[in-house]
Structure 1
Amino acid sequence: MKTITKLIPVIFLSVIMGGSLFYSCSQEKKEEIAVVLPLDAALSQAGENRVELEKALHRYQSNPSDSLKYRAACFLIENMPFYTYYKGKLLEQYLTFFTLLQEARSKKIYPQAMVDSVRRMYGPFSLDSLQYCKDVLTVDSAYLCSNIDWAFKVWQDQPWGKNVSFADFCEYILPYRIGDETLSYWREDIYRKYNPLLDSLRASTVLDIEDPLVAARCLCDSLRKRSRFFTTTIPQGLPHVGPEIAQSVSGSCRELSDYVVYVCRALGIPCAIDFMPLHGGGNDGHQWVSFADKYGTLYFQEYPDKIKEVRKDKMCEASKIKVYRNTFSLNRVMQAEMQRLDTAVVPFFRDPHIVDVTADYAKTYKKRLEIPTSMLYSGKPRSRIAYLCGSSRMDWEPVAWAEFDGKHLAFSDVQIEPVMRIATYERGRLRFWTDPFEMTVSGEFHVFAPSDSVQDVTLFAKYPLWQDEKYQKRMIGGVFEGSNDPDFRQTEVLFLIEKQPERLRTMAYSRSLTPFRYVRYIGPEKGHCNVAEIEFYEAGGLLPLSGRVIGTPGCYQQDGSHEYTNAFDGNTETSFDYTEPYGGWTGLDLGTPKVIDKIIYTPANRDNYVRSLDEYELSYCTRRGWRTLGQQTAMLDSLVYKRVPKGALLLLQNHTRGKQERIFVYEEGKQVWK
């Protein structure tokens, strides 16, 4: 597990490596200082609970055979002051959201409707209404010792434990919590539930059962078969859900990652949660679970996908600025350096339980990103820390930091290409020191600043459509047909889709003048007949033709949510997704033959196109903030804005619905997302 071990904060390594080959008398005193100071600091904050923590220490200190357990107890206790959690009835009520997700899907209830329902039932969620607890004040000796004993059991009993160092054990198996979840006894229950999944591995004479990655793959391949419900729409502000709720396998990447970590650690498989604070081309962060084989090669899993090697996967090419690994131990080196430079630190870097692993996840990155003085605004910063910020809608979020004297500034290990901006944190808010910029593959800086030149722009979307692209491509080769036979034994092509649609509503004209009673859309090979909405028109008709919806029943989801009838329900957010790659179709029985003049069709989508009758506002980024270019009500599936400054970052907001909006520039007549 070399890749994971090398990332543990230096101070922690000095504590746990006392038994290594490099141990000497001259080091003994230094190690005692490194251990005693954090441990004493933790015990001094424990108040009346100090007795419980010392009881655990004395239990292992009294028996020489428990020396490693004693050091493990020290590790947990000295990091305990930095962890808190919440308890209360409102939290319990809101956590039912996750257990109900599976049932809601079969009933065609969308996650947002469930969020709204929970809010109506229990009122708005607020952490202030819950009981606030500190680990160092509440964790008793029974809980602590139970966690340590079970962690050691799986480490020492499982065959792959031979290739897990004590350092990796402490950081990636031993921790009793992941984040701020309510504490519970979880190890034994999860062990007994999931350990049988590895019986065949332990009995294998073919697989390398002493490689932790082999164990991780065997386990995760079994877990992937479990039913799950993924959604990014969850009640806002909730802490981590905890091991019991995580086993419902429902929620966002955070809940699914937590699930994998609980199960792996309960079975002695070391793993960590790695994350990007912000997507390079998106507004939100993302996280996943990382593993290493016995040679130190780094792997990762975005549940429910398979475990893959990082360097051989598109993960390295994904747009990002920084990647970090969550650690249970405090990164005291980072904390001390930031406290030396400034007392005002942004929340993300306060008490940092993270280490930087960007270099492991990025193919094109700068080991040292130096910001040219010419790009910096004039003035003198009050803070000696500058932050590299990524874009999130109209906000800028710090994702990296460096020492700053107002002139010289360089950040370590930064992936190039995403849009960034430099800021300091002064008086509780960000103060910007550059215009937004990006670094190209050739190593040149490109600054986004509004110029005096203006242009007219035509907009079709408010968010990148890369997630929709697969649906757009699935329509290429799709055919609209007409027939006077209800079984379509004799058909005539009305229109063949030859390129992927680029807007919400694409208009096509029929090639036939023959009247047909039955009309349909049949998807191309491997297209699952994906289509969101279809409208057929007669010549001069202002309204789409109506009729009895006909088609092939069955959808890929096998829950009735994506049936053929969705293509004629008037809702562009619902779609048909046939159960088989080919053979599905959807259409209308018009009652009497009619000549089709034109067809309007909509690809399956995530509702980020411009929608008719929705209220929009276009803004552009200036040195002092965002400036509006006015609001419009869309009359079609596009918007036209005149006299837009060239070179500026733009953002289109939908004030009627939806939350996904992303910065872009307008170049050569198109929106270019950033």
Structure 2
Amino acid sequence: MKTPIKLIFISLLTIIVSFYSCSEIRKESHIPSLLDTALQQAKNNRSELEKVLSYYRLHPADSLKYRAACFLIENMPYYTYYKGERLEQYLTFYSLLRETRGTNITPRAVVDSVYYMYGPFHLDSLQSYKDIETVDSAYLCNNIEWAFKVWYEQPWGKNVSFTDFCEYILPYRIANETLSDWREDIYHKYNHLLDSFRISDIVDKDDPAVAARCLLDSLRKRSKFFTTTVPPELPHVGPEVAQNRTGSCRELSDYVVYVCRALGIPCAIDFMPIHGDGNDGHQWVSFSGRYGDLYYQEFLDALKEVRNSKIYGSSKIKVYRNTFSLNCDMKEEMQKLDSVVVPFFKSPHVIDVTDLYAKSYKKELKIPSKLIYKGKPHSRIAYLCASSRMSWEPVAWTEFDGQNLVFSNIQRGPVMRVATYEQGHLRFWTDPFEVTISNEFHFFTPLDSVQDVTLFSKYPLQSEEKFQNRMLGGTFEVSNDPAFQQKEIIHMIGRKPERLQTVVYLNSVKPYRYIRYVGPEEAHCNVAEITFYAVNDTIPLKGRAMGTPGCYQKDGSHEYPNVFDGNTETSFDCLAASGGWAGLDLGSPKRIGRIVYTPRNYDNYIRPGDEYELFCCIGRDKWDSFGVQISKADTLVYKDVPVNALLLLKNYSRGTQERIFAYENGKQVWK
């Protein structure tokens, strides 16, 4: 280490000389320290951990490394990892996913293939190992030395505090992955990506966030394929993810964390336990700049400042940050209130960062006592729950005496519900509710009045809106010339399609042999299905498919023949952004009387022939059924449904995406 940098850290020691760890304070007051407790739990491995402490205690220059060793050992008791043949078999999923890039094999098919080859996966079938009982002195010292090396040597290291270093660079693991030596290998593989940055004239190259942006721009070019589909219950992959560079948002986040920490860039994994308007959680990697500004990266996007991004205003209830250390204050406070805590908060390695991500939130959300169910709770902890299909997932907690409920730092907007955790189950204390932008509570309590509801989908179509918009301005053309040198436009799409099938009636006079759909500019001719009918005929016209060859995926999966295959799940995604078209050679001229078209979609519209069931949330923990229907068209109608009810529609024929909604002013309003 160069002398100037060494002097910096000697100065740092002088500044923090008055700082004592909680373990040292407790030792002075004769209360067992976290370190003492951890060493007791190490059992036969205690001597290995004490070797590390003794090694760094010998020299005053190693004081920070001694503190770092204490930090890691104090928190080891809360970490477990797994081994077993079934785990090794299932981890091949990621290498298979990498190998099938650019093919027609979907991630779901890879999951099914692994399941078929090896059978079901269950975490409890593996052998578990505790870090505190297995981590040896050589492993721990190697991790500490490499962490300090990159902290000292990188130009931005001087702007990373020791506290942030311990939480966001030093940890040897992320979650429950199998332990391995990873720092040196990843360092040598990726450190060269920052060579030009380190010798550049960039003014802020001592800013960790600026270094992160430079590194992530390089990583994005290397990482081509991630998916939301992974085998359930599978532990974290571990540093091997830096080799495969594939998986869900969890694997992407892990990949970024391993590389950044190996290069001395502090970062954390922040997450929503549940989306405010979705059924699942989501996570990403966060970075703090030199001046306290917060940045994040999700999937393969560029690094963005949180306050100027879509995530700042997105629907959420809570956002947490994963920490290596246990949130002792939260754990102790919850244990005082109840010995039985929901799994999510049982060993909370998290801190609440909702205020950093929420554009509109309430520092105190007080639930009106008149709207709390009558009764006496068996737990003094109440949980604020988010909706996940017909279930509710705890995302926040507070003390509860049966009457007063106040939650801290809650974003307005999403549907929530209050519950206690009793005998392994949630016991609800309010009807579902939302807090409006005007800070008013709206409870979804079914009324005695009823209404008929007409349904077009089982899941919000916001994610599909881009596909709907890509049909605006699209035209249907006819000609008797296969090159369409002379053509007639018989219809232009002026409104975005809002249902599976949009029907256009025509007053065609002249018969034509060739007919096609031409996508608008910059739309890749996105369309899923088109059917043409002759005047006064109910049988679809047949013909030879024609169109612009090539698809954006460059794998044959989204070519123009999909438009006429009778399957609304397949679609055309033209390689060219503009000028793409798909059509039919009808064999002989026909008078066109009707066109039916379907936008590219994720298969959440109502589909004819599928089996559906509508449910209504009523009372404490009850979903009443309003009957099963086989859809005869692309809509469903249910009669006598209570007004102001929270509803959910299931499709038993296909798909898993479904979401709660209300029915207001004749429309589905997704919650």
TM-score, normalised via structure 1 length: 0.95
Partner of 2:652: 655
Matched letter for residue 215 of structure 1: A
CA distance in 1 between partners of 2:565 and 2:39 (Å): 64
Deviation at 1:241, TM superposition (A): 1.0
Q: Measured at CA, do residues 35 and 178 of structure 1 come closer, stay the same or move farther in structure 2, by a change above 3 Å?
A: farther
Residue 564 of structure 1: aligned partner? 560
In the aligned structure 2, how far is the partner of 1:303 from the partner of 1:25? 37
* CA deviation vs aligned residue, 1:252-277 (integer Å, no higher than 9, x gap): 11111111111100100000000000
Asked if 1:177 is matched to 2:205, the reply is no
2:398 to 389, 397, 402: 402
Q: Which position in structure 2 is the counterpart of 1:248?
A: 244
Counterparts of residues 134-173 of structure 1 (less than 5 Å): 134-173=130-169
Q: Read off the aligned partner of 1:270 and give its amino acid letter.
A: P
Matched, 1:131 2:127: yes
Change (3 A) 1:31 1:512: farther
Does 1:442 find its partner at 2:416? no
Give yes or no for contact 1:246–1:256 (8 Å, CA) kept in 2.
no
1:292 aligned residue: 288
Match of 1:433 among 416, 426, 429: 429
Tell me by how many angstroms 1:577 deviates: 1.1
SS in 2 for 1:137: helix
SS for the counterpart of 1:468 is helix
2: CA distance, partners of 1:155 / 1:570: 59
* Structure-1 separation of matches of 2:381 and 2:403: 12
Contact 1:273 1:287 in 2 (8 A): yes
Residue-by-residue CA offset, 1:133-153 (whole Å, 9 max, x unaligned): 111111111111111111111
2:304 is the alignment partner of 1:312: no
Q: CA deviation at 1:542?
A: 2.7
Change (3 A) 1:545 1:67: same
- Cα distance in 2 for partners of 1:209, 1:671 equals 50
2:238 alignment partner AA: G
Question: What's 2:668 paired with?
Answer: 671
How far the C-alpha of 1:559 sits from its partner, in A, is 2.1
Classify the secondary structure of the residue corresponding to 2:240.
helix
Of residues 597, 612, 619 in structure 2, which corresponds to 1:616?
Answer: 612
Find the aligned partners of 1:664 and 1:17 in 2 and give their Cα distance: 57
**Does residue 1:344 correspond to 2:317, yes or no?**
no
Aligned AA (1:607): D
Q: Write out per-residue CA displacement over residues 580-633 of structure 1, whole angstroms, 9 at most, x where no aligned residue.
A: 221111111111111111111111111111111111100000113111001111
What letter corresponds to residue 591 of structure 1 in structure 2?
G
| Greater alpha carbon shift after TM alignment, 63-72 vs 612-621 | 63-72
1:335 correspondence with 2:328: no
> Match of 1:536?
532
8 A Cα contact 2:421 2:427, kept in partner: yes
CA distance in 2, matches of 1:484, 1:670: 43
CA distance, structure 2, for counterparts of residue 391 and residue 26 of structure 1 = 38
**What residue in structure 2 maps to residue 279 of structure 1?**
275
The 8 Å contact of residues 242 and 259 in structure 2, kept in 1 or not, is answered as: no
Q: Distance in 2 between matches of 1:30 and 1:423?
A: 36
Measured after TM superposition, the shift of residue 290 of structure 1 is 0.3
1:460 alignment partner, one of 438, 451, 456: 456
Residue 356 (str. 1) matches residue 360 (str. 2): no
1:626 aligns with 2:655: no
CA distance in 2 between counterparts of 1:501 and 1:35 reads 68
Counterparts of 2:188 and 2:103, CA distance in 1:
33
Structure 1 residue 103: deviation in Å?
Answer: 3.2
Give runs of aligned pairs for residues 80-159 of structure 1, distance below 5 A: 80-159=76-155
* Alignment gaps of 5+ in structure 2: 1-11
| Matched positions, count | 659
Structure 1 counterpart SS, 2:420? strand
User: 1:302 aligned to 298, 302, 311, which one?
Assistant: 298
Answer yes or no: is the 8 Å Cα contact 2:26–2:33 preserved in 1. no
Task: State the partner residue of 1:514.
Answer: 510
Change (3 A) 1:374 1:488: same
* Paired residues of 1:207 and 1:214 also in contact (CA < 8 A): no
Question: 1:8-59, CA deviations, whole angstroms, 9 ceiling, x for partnerless residues?
Answer: xxxxxxxx99952755999974586699611111111111111111111112
CA distance in structure 2 between the partners assigned to 1:463 and 1:32 by the alignment: 59
Q: Which amino acid aligns with 1:307?
A: L
Structure 1 letter corresponding to 2:331: Q
Tell me how far 1:657 sits from its aligned partner: 1.1
Q: Is the Cα–Cα contact under 8 Å of residues 614 and 634 in structure 1 kept in the other structure?
A: yes
Q: Bigger shift: 421-430 or 566-575?
A: 566-575
Give the deviation of 1:356 after TM superposition: 0.2
- What are the superposed Cα offsets for residues 128-178 of structure 1, whole Å, 9 maximum, x if unpaired? 221111111111111111111111111001111010011000000000111
Kindly provide the amino acid, as one letter, of the partner of residue 627 in structure 1: D
Match of 1:4 in 2: none
| Deviation at residue 558 of structure 1 after TM alignment | 2.0
CA RMSD of aligned residues (A): 1.8
For residue 511 of structure 1, report the CA deviation from its aligned partner. 4.6
SS of the residue aligned with 1:243? coil
Match of 2:228 among 229, 232, 236: 232
2:187 to 161, 185, 191: 191
Q: Which residue does the alignment assign to 1:639?
A: 636
Residue of structure 1 equivalent to 2:217: 221
From 66, 75, 80, the counterpart of 1:79: 75
Q: Which AA in structure 1 matches 2:354?
A: T
Q: Which residue of 1 aligns with 2:263?
A: 267
Structure 1: gaps (5+ residues): 1-15
Question: In the superposition, relative to structure 1, how do residues 258 and 23 fare at CA in structure 2: closer, same or farther (>3 Å)?
Answer: closer
Give the letter for the 1:629 counterpart.
F
- Hey, what's the Cα distance between the residues in 1 that align with 2:151 and 2:30? 25
Question: For the residues of structure 2 that align with 1:31 and 1:295, how far apart are their CA atoms?
Answer: 36
Q: TM-score, with normalisation over the residues of structure 2?
A: 0.96
Distance of 1:513 and 1:102 partners within structure 2: 54
Say whether the 8 Å CA contact 2:223–2:300 is kept in structure 1.
Answer: no
Aligned pair in 2 of structure 1 residues 276, 497: CA closer, same or farther (>3 Å)?
same
Contact residue 503 and residue 637 of structure 1 kept, 8 A: yes
1:552 to 526, 548, 552: 548
SS in 2 for 1:316: helix
Q: Deviations over 1:547-570 (max 9, x none)?
A: 111111112222222111211122
* Inter-CA distance 29–458: structure 2 relative to 1 (3 Å threshold): closer
Query: Which amino acid is 1:643 matched to?
Result: D
2:206 to 210, 227, 232: 210
Q: For each residue in 1:256-306, what CA deviation from the matched residue of structure 2 results, as whole angstroms up to 9, or x when unmatched?
A: 111111110010000000000011000000100000111111111113111
